[in-house]
Structure 1
């Protein structure tokens, strides 16, 4: 009996640490599951291991991690993947091939925090979607009172979400999920650099040592260089014609540095407004230099977008390096469109203005300059 117990205990010990197991609904016998994780630069996934589904189940013992890793499961024959945190705890999956997003992940404090967070995002998206649908109906019936109330509802959802994200990071300084949430917060452009820096500085030393946290730290440093009041980082890059153009050469009395790409739908939607502001104020000293984050080998798409959106009257540059663009890195740009408004000395006076806000600010700056 003691020998049996000892053998059982030994098997259990093998399943401690980084061990994954789970079930797959209606799985094909022998169907493969691929395990991958983000690389050190957090730019792409790298394969870790593969396991086959047997009798609708799978299990795999993996080498322990030096630090938590953002990881993924992918089921052969399906699109998409299942996100989880590998943090040296046994992790269990229930996989639904027809709806991977409905799959569940249990095990480990990090995964509990992660999936609570993802659940909040899903619920907020549902509420915002309902509000948008109701607003369309109110707009069609000219119900201005209801429109105003629904706009207030959307703002309340947004405000609550901002508070919840800050609380999650504050309450979980030892979790890599807090770094993921901070990166989301940075990408929304709804938080100041100082807010994000304070939250980051309160993370544990162990979490700050992860590659994800180190990348975020560098992004925050880059962002702080582009805070309003600071000198805009200088740069030069190729024009569509293949010549080098510097920021200094493009400066006017007021200059818009606009990060965009031909593949970015929100950027393309904003372009007509930029054209309008340029036509109204260029003669008074308003210049534009657009920095494209188009992909390598897709110069033709960049040039076609310039032509299609009638952007040919001002300066354009691109390194054609997608998200690895060095100018975007200098400016801490992690999402586009992103825009920086500069005065004639190259100092940043405003950021990420759109629509009427951009037009009003440009007019205000040029009028102030003319009165001096």
Structure 2
């Protein structure tokens, strides 16, 4: 009898261990038609994973495995939905929500996906706490966002300009709530996600206190280690530091180095032909270049294009007469990696001594800074 109990206990432990090796998501949605598709998307390591299940009698089941806690998105779609391009209205109407996925059992319950309650795992429990803290501000923002959408449709610039400060003020209050959550929950993957959201362009002085607030366990997670490495790079390319030298080919295949321009004021301009904001900013940069090009000033533009034809066409179309280089590897551009460029446009103003003087000078800021430096 004792032997049987021991064997049974071992079997249960083995079953429990196996059950925790992956995740399960069991959903029950009322008012949802049979045949609708539930889409699940998330990252595990470097891999982007997309999975799906069909709703039957309001229920669905998804299974999988993740390497670490990760933010995921779950969406309810009609397979018969039109194939027209995505619009802002369609995007806003998507029946979906984010949640924190880990190798645990999850439940999804509600009338639709957007308002469903998703439970499972410690990180998701933390996320529900954060959502409850943000809800009053989101409720205030929702009608204003709808108004802003209407003003965009109407091209009502005056109304947009008047409404924007109100939206911005609410966003500032939401950021305060999120920042408070980081300090109150240092051992949470939700806090890690919030810190990562501040890493588009890392300012070490602002970013490091939030990163250091995280617990050692979270800092040593896969994502935490990546952010630590990026923070280290950000310190190397901070204002006052020597700009890292690089060599890439110009439009004619001739190697050009940053160090060959030492002795001049140099703007390292990261851009791409496909980047709308970059193309919008180009006329401003061109105006500044024409004003200072004969005053010891040069621009070396590093493109994140991967197609030479598109790159050359954009240079010609925008009339950009300065130095252009690229390895045509897109987001894997070697210089962009060295300078931790995760978004474009970005730029670095380098002085004649090779040290970084300023970063991300947009619009009139570049002209004003050069006017102050170059007499």
Return the TM-score normalized by structure 1: 0.77
Cα distance in structure 2, aligned partners of 1:151 and 1:88:
41
For the pair 1:282 / 2:282, whether they are aligned, the reply is no
Cα distance in structure 2, aligned partners of 1:282 and 1:301:
26
Say whether the 8 Å CA contact 1:250–1:289 is kept in structure 2. Answer: no
- 1:331-366 C-alpha deviation (Å, 9 max, x unpaired): 122211111111012111111111111100011111
Say whether the 8 Å CA contact 1:91–1:108 is kept in structure 2. Answer: yes
> Which residue is 2:89 aligned to?
none
Cα distance in structure 2, aligned partners of 1:185 and 1:127:
24
Cα distance in structure 2, aligned partners of 1:276 and 1:138:
26
CA gap of 1:61–1:308, structure 2 versus 1, over 3 A, is: closer
Cα distance in structure 2, aligned partners of 1:351 and 1:107:
42
Gaps of 5+ in 2: 1-11, 87-93
> Which residue is 2:49 aligned to?
46
Residue of 345, 349, 361 corresponding to 1:341: 349
For the pair 1:93 / 2:93, whether they are aligned, the reply is no
Say whether the 8 Å CA contact 1:179–1:216 is kept in structure 2. Answer: no
> Which residue is 1:306 aligned to?
315
Cα distance in structure 2, aligned partners of 1:122 and 1:321:
43
1:262 Cα deviation from its structure 2 partner: 1.1
CA gap of 1:279–1:103, structure 2 versus 1, over 3 A, is: farther
CA gap of 1:108–1:192, structure 2 versus 1, over 3 A, is: same
Gaps of 5+ in 1: 1-9, 141-145, 368-372
SS of alignment partner, residue 26 of structure 1: coil
Q: Write the mapping of 1:1-372 to structure 2, written as runs, cut at 5 A.
A: 18-24=23-29, 26-29=32-35, 33=38, 35-41=40-46, 44-46=47-49, 51-60=53-62, 62=64, 67-73=68-74, 77=79, 83-94=98-109, 105-114=118-127, 116=130, 127=144, 130=147, 133=151, 139=158, 153=166, 156-187=169-200, 189=201, 192-251=203-262, 253-294=264-305, 296=306, 298-311=307-320, 313-367=321-375
CA gap of 1:156–1:205, structure 2 versus 1, over 3 A, is: same
- 1:112-137 C-alpha deviation (Å, 9 max, x unpaired): 44464586679658646757949x75
CA gap of 1:276–1:121, structure 2 versus 1, over 3 A, is: farther
Cα distance in structure 1, aligned partners of 2:219 and 2:72:
18
Say whether the 8 Å CA contact 1:219–1:329 is kept in structure 2. Answer: no
Count of aligned residue pairs for this structure pair: 340
Cα distance in structure 1, aligned partners of 2:322 and 2:142:
38
SS of alignment partner, residue 293 of structure 2: helix
- 1:303-354 C-alpha deviation (Å, 9 max, x unpaired): 111111111x111111222222221121122211111111012111111111
Compute the RMSD of aligned alpha carbons.
3.7
SS of alignment partner, residue 284 of structure 1: coil
1:154 Cα deviation from its structure 2 partner: 5.3
Return the TM-score normalized by structure 2: 0.76
Of 244-253 and 111-120, more deviation after overlay is shown by 111-120
Cα distance in structure 2, aligned partners of 1:281 and 1:169:
45
1:55 Cα deviation from its structure 2 partner: 2.1
Say whether the 8 Å CA contact 2:70–2:100 is kept in structure 1. Answer: yes
